[in-house]
Structure 1
Amino acid sequence: MIADVQHALKEMIYSEAALPRDALDVRFAAPTSAWVSGLTRPTLNFFLHDLRENTGLRSSEFMHSYVSGGQRRDLAPRRIDLKYLVTVFFKSQVDELGRDEWNVLWRVLAALMRQDDWEEQYVPPAARDLDVGVLGVIGQPEGQATQGLFSSLGLPVRPHLNYTLTVPLNLNVSELSPLVLERRLEFRSGLQEGAAAGEGVVRSSWIIRDGLGRPVPDALVRGAGARGFSGPDGVVHLAVAREQVRDLDVLTLDGQILRLPAHSAALLPQLTE
């Protein structure tokens, strides 16, 4: 994820700050004094010096999705803060194009502040697949901490930005709950063991899908004298035992009437849109 985010950050900076790709490099190195002395081109550098979880954005909720055979629950991604020291290095204060390092830093500042919540076009696919965005914040000067960082790199303190990117981390924690197709409840009297207080309550569940495997919501479903409406996930519950259902009569929201054999697992043929 870090490599993907840094590649996306590089493309976003070139685009949003209107920096010349043929005259200025964007790199992600530890800017030691030896590294700086070896530069041959103007360079904008993002030095990743710290990463930690953003506990303020932590979520313990599970995301639900229906898969073949049941319901899948995935733990929401954690959010990780990537902290960067942003600096610009030229061999002199003014390069051959007349753009000095302070001007570049100013353009970068405007670009990063404009993209505090990254536009979708800049979000890397790995984060987009998790349906979680990327957040960027320009931090306040960190005083002694930043001075210590420059000292450890062997550099004098120079104009810089403190930039924090918040990106998702998938912990791959998930569980699968099998679909309950039938449920039987039986009530017994506590006065005499084994004596039934009433008849059992039976319920069977079915998933109504179209020919493309998509759930069919809001359909009226009848079977063996019982009826019910399918929910947004295509699941319908009927107050009848599964073995009693031979056919399901389905009335879709757009007026189609279909009869489905129960042994077909309630899979609808493709509907006409």
Structure 2
Amino acid sequence: MIADIQHALKELVYSEAALPRDALDVRFAAPTSAWVSGLTRPTLNFFLHDIRENMALRSSEFMHTYVAGGRQRDLVPRRIDLKYLVTVFFKSQVDELGRDEWNVLWRVLAALMRQDEWEDRYIPQAARDLDVGVLGVVGQPEGQASQGIFTSLGLPVRPHLNYTLTVPLNLNVSELSLLVLERRVDLRTGLEKPAADGPSMVRSSWIIRDEHGQAVADALVRSDQGGRAFSGPDGVVHLAVPREHVRILQVLTLDGQSLELPAQDAALLPPLTE
């Protein structure tokens, strides 16, 4: 990401500050005294001297996207500050085009301040894919801090800019929540006890016959446990109640007649426990 950002920054200052590409270099080196003495062309230099997280922009939120098979949660990118010391080096105060160091620095200052929030055309693809912008701030001179940087490089303090770029960093923290498309149903016989980890449904099956022993179809059956159901063509009726101690209260036929059937005349089928 840093290499992509610095390549984009180079294009930004060339374009926004209208710097001559054939007469001035833009570099990202540590400007030691030996490095400066070896320059052969006018050079604008961005020295990256500090990298740290921008805590004011930290977020612990997740972005949610739906993918094949479920929903993916991705931690939003962190925001990282890249701090640059910006300097201009000519062999003399005036180059062959009549532009001095201060003029170049002034034009660069205007270009960077104009792009406090980078336009999309300057944002590298790696940062654009994260859907987070790139911010640039020209800070106030840092006094002793800047002086310490020049001293450590073996250079006298010279006109400079303090420039901070805030760029996204993807931590690649994500999790996938699978989409459940089925449910499990366990069938057990009446001899098995229901599992203790959840409720079960008990269904009792009966055959309803009249006084002649014929199956009664389409009859409304009520029990003393509150169960209600219609019998099928074969006289079978299913009630969502256990068969133990169940008593048929009423059998109402399709023509509205009520059959009084003692419990012993109703043949029981094996119960089905679900």
Going from structure 1 to structure 2, the CA distance change for 1:196 and 1:20 (only over 3 Å counts) comes to same
- Runs (5+) with no aligned partner, structure 1: 185-192, 198-273
Matched position secondary structure for 2:127 = helix
RMSD: 2.2
2:151 paired with 1:172: no
Aligned residues: 193
**What are the residue-to-residue correspondences of 1:163-242 with 2, within 5 Å?**
163-182=163-182
Does 2:89 correspond to 1:89?
Answer: yes
| Equivalent position amino acid for 1:165 in 2 | L
SS of residue matched to 1:113: helix
CA offset at residue 87 of structure 1?
Answer: 0.1
Shift of 1:195: 7.2
Q: Which residue pairs with 1:103 in the alignment? A: 103
Distance 1:195 1:135, change over 3 A: closer
**Fraction of identical pairs, as percent:** 87
Unaligned runs of 5+ in 2: 185-196, 202-274
CA distance in 1, matches of 2:90, 2:36: 9
TM-score, L = length of structure 1: 0.67
Q: Aligned pair in 2 of structure 1 residues 126, 194: CA closer, same or farther (>3 Å)?
A: closer
Q: Which residue of 1 aligns with 2:249?
A: none
Partner residue of 1:36? 36
Distance in 1 (CA, whole Å) between partners of 2:60 and 2:103 is: 44
Could you say what secondary structure the match of 2:180 adopts?
Answer: coil
Q: Cα distance 1:43–1:123, how it changes in 2: closer, same or farther (>3 A)? A: same
1:69–1:106: structure 2 CA closer, same or farther, 3 Å change rule? same
Alignment match, 2:208: none
* 1:4 and 2:4 aligned: yes
* Structure 1 residue 196: Cα displacement: 7.1
In structure 2, the partner of 1:51 is 51
Change (3 A) 1:65 1:98: same
Cα offset, 1:45, TM superposition: 0.1
Q: Alpha-carbon deviation of 1:91? A: 0.3
- Cα distance, 1:194–1:175 mapped onto 2, change above 3 Å: closer
How much does 1:194 deviate?
A: 7.8
**Where does residue 125 of structure 1 map in the other structure?**
125
Q: Which residue of 1 aligns with 2:65?
A: 65
**TM-score, scaled to structure 2:** 0.67
Structure 2 Cα separation of the partners of residues 134 and 150 of structure 1: 27
Tell me the secondary structure at the aligned position of residue 91 of structure 1: coil
Please name the residue that 1:78 is paired with: 78
- Give per-residue Cα distances to partners, 1:46-83, cap 9 Å, x unaligned: 00000000011111111111111001111100000000
